[in-house]
Amino acid sequence: MWTQVVGKTLLASPSQNHWWHTALRVSARGLATPFPILAGERSFEVELDLVEHLLWVRSDRRTIFTPLGPRTVRSFYREYLELVRAVGGEAHLWTRPVEVPDPVDFDRDEVHRDYDPVAANRFFAVLLRCQDVFRGLADSFLGKQSPVQFWWGSFDLATSRFSGRRAPERPGADRITREGYSHELVAFGFWPGGALPGGASVDEPLFYAYAAPEPEGFSRAVVGPNGARYDERLHEFVLPYQTVRCAPDPVAALREFCEGTYRAGAALGKWDRDVLERR
């Protein structure tokens, strides 16, 4: 919920394609806004420090912080707005969380109050290492590709490659998905698990990869390493985090998974790979 509060501040920033202006970035100490946020004549940035467990708000005028610890979302939301105002910034947020079951508005949420600093720091360590592998994939691809981004709604770290062609509009697409999937792509990511639409859930962290739109035969592609499979519920290839963690070479295992799903999606989708890939 805290990442949603910080992330929603970015919605007022100048728009980028595929909503890239709204995602957080993995910093050297946690999760942070990707750029300074302009508010009138002031600019400010925000960081959730998951090493020393502090919320930092910095502007061109001053820097202030508050400790992160067990507290209600309502309490965090109110103090966050006060900190932003204290550095000369301004934030007007839509208070309803997104992409979660049974959402409670930030200013009324007295339910969610847990914060485990050990777990938060371990999660950050995983994000930092995953980011390094995902960024390393970028060198072999010359086409349009996204930064490595943390999406606070779905709570996952992801990056995407694009074919360069527009995609047909998804049936029932809303404003978010219409822009997010306006062009053909293959995406890779890390997700700690959680609820799915319809009441189901995924109870383990995993890596995922998918093609959108999904070409014919994609779900039957052979993708390594051992343990990778196509999940019919998610319509994605998945690889358990534990499988990668216990592999003799975790980086090589994750690269094999990402590159294998990309090759399947690009080949079956008839991407112009001679133009898009570095020889």
pLDDT digits (tens, 9 = 90+) for 152-162: 999 999 999 99
Listed residues 87, 108, 129: the one ending a domain: 108
> What's the domain range around 128?
117-276
Specify whether the CB–CB gap between 142 and 276 falls below 8 A.
yes
Residue-level pLDDT at 39:
79
Nearest one of 133, 100, 147, 135 to 3, comparing CA atoms: 100
Q: What percent of the chain has pLDDT over 70?
A: 100
The pair phi, psi for residue 257, each rounded to 5°, is: -65, -50
Residues 185-244: pLDDT tens digits? 999 999 999 988 777 899 999 999 999 999 999 999 999 999 999 999 999 999 999 999
- Domain boundary among the residues 54, 85, 108 is at 108
Mark whether 224 and 160 lie in a shared domain.
yes
CA angle centred on 23, ends 19 and 29, rounded to 5°: 165
97 and 164 both lie in a single domain: no
Residue 160 bridge partners (DSSP):
187
Q: pTM here? A: 0.95
- Number of domains forming the structure of the chain: 2
Q: Are residues 124 and 184 in the same domain?
A: yes
**What was the pLDDT predicted at 197?**
76
Average of per-residue pLDDT values in the chain: 95
